[in-house]
A and B are shown apart, each in its own frame.
Chain A
Amino acid sequence: MKHIVIIGNGIAGVTAARHLRKLGDDKITIISAETKYFFSRTALMYIYMGHMTLQDTQPYENWFWEKNRIDLIQDKVESVDYSEKKLLLASKTEVSYDSLILATGAKPNMFGWKGQDLDGAQGLYSYQNLQYIEERSHLIKRAVIVGGGLIGIELAEMFLSRNIKVTFLVREKSFWNKILPNEESAMINRHIFEHHIDLRLGAELEEIIGDDSGKVKAIKIKDGEVLDCEFVGLTAGVSPNIDFLKDSDLNLGRGIKIDQTFKTNMPDVYAIGDCAEFEVPLEGRLPIEQVWYTGKMHGETVAHVIQGEEKTYKPGTWFNSAKFLDIEYQTYGMVLGQLFDGQETFYWEAPNGKISVRINFSKETMAVEGFNFMGLRARHEVCVPWIENKITLKEVIENFGAANFDPEFYKKYEAVIVQQYNEEYPNDRVELKTKKGLFSNYIQKFKRFSLTERSS
């Protein structure tokens, strides 16, 4: 019986532990500093807004761990001794391992802004960050958020729920414009204004100004404007949490360097989740993947690798989702702010300016390559096979209903989308073929299609 130790009880580490238990009888220990029990980091905002308690965000009841013989230690790992195969914890205890999984997650980026360490300036990543904000909330009249990304807008929404004024500094000319194309980005700008958030586009933080007691009292923007505030949220992205691993022979880049099987350069040491960096990324994927489902898949795969089973990491076609205040966003295939070479785009937006569909396709073959949906839910099971099987824009538009995942009775837009297509491509007119609801036949068709493709 081996002793497998996992550092970090986030989604990556916990998924690894669960699969290891399914596959074998080894002793499994998870050491994590933040909370004793695993919770969903993605739900931090809902704890603050009063939608859920910390307990509600925990996917497993507390008895789960003992029942599955997964030992939990709440402590901080100070250092790793790779040659002796043991860990030193903050409580000065030592834990030895046969296999070690590093799943230490990420931490908010700090770009060396002046005043970034003042009391009242911090990011949003951990449960401790959340508690810190909670404790100060009653003192905050205005919060400034620096960095227009997914965590920034969640933080803005959190403050709105407490009637705290929010000023939102976004360096780009439009919200999250590196990832969101202009139209979607503009839609979110409008929606942010609709919520009375003071959105400053193209605005950069110059410095954070403190008072005598070391508390935040104002910020200065690059154009010289000074804004009074009691809190500064630093949400300009995250980076791997690997500081305690530095100064050793472990191969580090921006993250912990790994091969396709999550092995590091040290024997029996693996890295997964937000802290890992692929030496050679898979085609169409980034070297560091910092989203929920990749953490899950890393964990699942590494468990098989450690148990010596055949299993390759196959994250498939890129997808993701988020929510900007009240507007949901789903994406399938890589869609960024700019089109890739040789791509063209089809974009439809509802008159209310809150719902849109974007389909990027190859100019040459007309095969669809990526989707963006705002305010409209779309079926993963349909969109991704469309991309992988290189289905043409025309066929997708005709059968768009198959992708519609909106709840029953929602307004359907298939017909207007066909109409717009016909206006834009008058020489290649289409008829609406698949309405929503007849989905399963269609799914079956594409499933079979994709399976034969793969096996041949």
Chain B
Amino acid sequence: MPDLNKVDPSIDLTSAHEHQDFSVLSKVAVAIMVIGFLILSIAVFGPGAKYPKLFLFSSFGAIAFGSLAYTFLTYFLSPSGVKNNHITTSALTAHGWLAWIMAVGLTGFYVIHYWWSHLFENWYRMMDPLSFYVRGKQTEDWIFYGVLYTFGVLIMGIRAIVKYRHSRYQIIRTCMVIFSQFFLAWLIPSLLVYFKEPEAYVNYFWPLSFKDGFPLHFQSLLQEPSIMAKFLIFWSLGLTFIGTPILTYYFGKRWYCSWVCGCGGLANTVGDPFRQNSSKKLISWKIERWMINSVLIFIVVSTGYIWYVAATAGTLKINPADHYLTKSYGFLIGMVFSGVVGTGFYPILGTRVWCRFGCPQAAILGFIQRFFSRFRITTNGGQCISCGNCSKYCEMGIDVRSYAERGANIVRASCVGCGMCATVCPRGVLNLENGPREGRINKPVSLSDIINFEEDK
């Protein structure tokens, strides 16, 4: 029999029973990160344009180093496992003063970025060295935003990997999210520009990228002489009409929403500290269904209408409806909803406000997931103790517990398959699975039937 008290001292970072406190080092790490943000702020007032490389590297470097060091100290030094301590008490993650400062800051950033982007001119000049290197062009507002976005996904993605390292599902998924943002949404579009091809964010397509379904888009791509342009038409239509139904049938909407999509990617990395703030109230679910389906209907109807106008006019060229709809949709949905509210309010409303209430892609994927997919979250018999962790950490505001405690599988249109409910469940109750559709939706009436394995009534 093994020695009951044996503990291998080599795995101990500290002496046997001493509990080490890293709070001082953590504070230093946070301070370095804050200094990085300060340098970045100073840059926008002029120095950034004057000394681009110095400001670019020192600000991004300090932010990266500080946040990674903090991640390491907070999550890596203790054994792997669920690490959600102090989330409901921290001023940042529990609607405290830090959360409000951050929300105001982020929202302000989006407002300036959309409407007064010239105010960020010095930042764009600061970014020029990188931009010329990768794209062969100078920086514009969206290029700068893209770099920030990708940087955020990368750094906070590493944080998510370290924090959730006890779950291989989370590790692999987060790697894919980072890959998708870095390559599909940043490097490839940049290189396309570098090689004088049409710029395309290849992880977006209709209806989320609504323009991809509008006549003007086809017109402009068809005008391009290159093969790449033709390929991009094929790619985007293929994803909308073939990729989406097939992949969603097999894997649920998660293949897109929490593996590929950049919005989802941002939510699951930069937004991860705030995922618990999504509302779990029944009323929110009702509002969600109204809103998201209205957006979808709006997109489908307006896309249809523009094609109708184009068909009757006999040209793909810009028509007033196309122009007007592109503008108003771009403003209302693209900017106000997905940007200002969707991301700006991360600390207040949780991470997936846009995905949950406004994204037309999510609506379509959700519809397929709910009615025609093999995906479900399985509940493990009678093991649920109704603790509520799953519901709390569901970023889509699904009351997972209300299913789990009845022994009912979770088949919900909104579930993005992030897997966090299964990751945080302390009793091993939940499992994301793709399986035969038979028995996927079960409606058990009583616990006694579940644990005696009687047929669902």
Q: CB within 8 Å of B: which residues of A?
A: 11, 40, 42-43, 46-47, 49-53, 56-59, 61, 160-161, 163, 165, 173-174, 182-183, 185-186, 189-191, 193-198, 201, 292-293, 296-297, 300-301, 311, 313-317, 319, 321-323, 325-326, 328, 330, 377-381, 384-385, 405-411, 437, 439-440, 447, 450-451
Contacts and interface: CB of A to CB of B under 8 A. Distances in A.
B137 to A, nearest CB: 40
A321 B451 contact: no
Contacts of B166: 326
Contacts of A40: 385-388
Contact of B448 (A161, A182, A198, A314): A314
A384 B89 contact: no
Nearest to A381: B381
Given A384-B381, A440-B436, 8 more contacts: A50-B88, A51-B85, A51-B389, A56-B388, A56-B391, A165-B19, A379-B380, A407-B169
A201 B428 contact: no
A293 B88 contact: no
Contact of B387 (A57, A189, A311, A384): A57
B431 A201 contact: no
Interface string B437-457: 011000000111001111100
A439 B381 CA distance: 14
Contacts of B391: 56
A46 B386 CA distance: 12
A407 B385 contact: no
B399 to A, nearest CB: 9
A42 B79 contact: no
A190 B7 contact: yes
Given A186-B4, A440-B436, A328 B428 contact: yes
B2 A193 contact: no
B282 interface: yes
A351 to B, nearest CB: 12
Contact of B4 (A201, A377, A381): A201
A321 B429 CA distance: 10
Contacts of A193: 7, 16-17
Interface in B377-400: 378, 380-383, 385-389, 391-392
9 contacts: A40-B388, A42-B385, A43-B389, A52-B388, A194-B79, A198-B17, A293-B451, A311-B448, A411-B168
Q: Which bucket holds chain B's interface residue count? A: 35 or more
Interface of B: 1-8, 11-12, 14, 16-21, 23, 78-82, 84-90, 166-169, 172, 281-282, 378, 380-383, 385-389, 391-392, 401-402, 405, 419, 422-423, 426-428, 431-433, 435-436, 438-439, 446-448, 451-455
A346 to B, nearest CB: 16
Contacts of B7: 189-190, 193-194
Contact of A377 (B428, B436, B438): B428
B387 A377 contact: no
A11 B11 CA distance: 41
B82 A326 contact: yes
A186 B451 CA distance: 31
Contacts of B168: 407, 409-411
Contacts of B423: 407
Given A314-B452, A384-B453, A407-B432, A319 B4 contact: no
B172 to A, nearest CB: 5
Contacts of B388: 40, 43, 46, 52, 56-59
A328 B436 contact: no
Q: List the 7 closest A-B pairs by CB distance, nearest first.
A: A380-B381, A326-B81, A377-B428, A43-B387, A50-B86, A42-B385, A193-B7
B14 A196 contact: yes
Nearest to A159: B19
A380 B382 contact: yes
A11 B384 CA distance: 12
A229 B12 CA distance: 25
A194 B405 CA distance: 33
B79 A50 contact: no
Contact of A409 (B169, B383, B387): B169
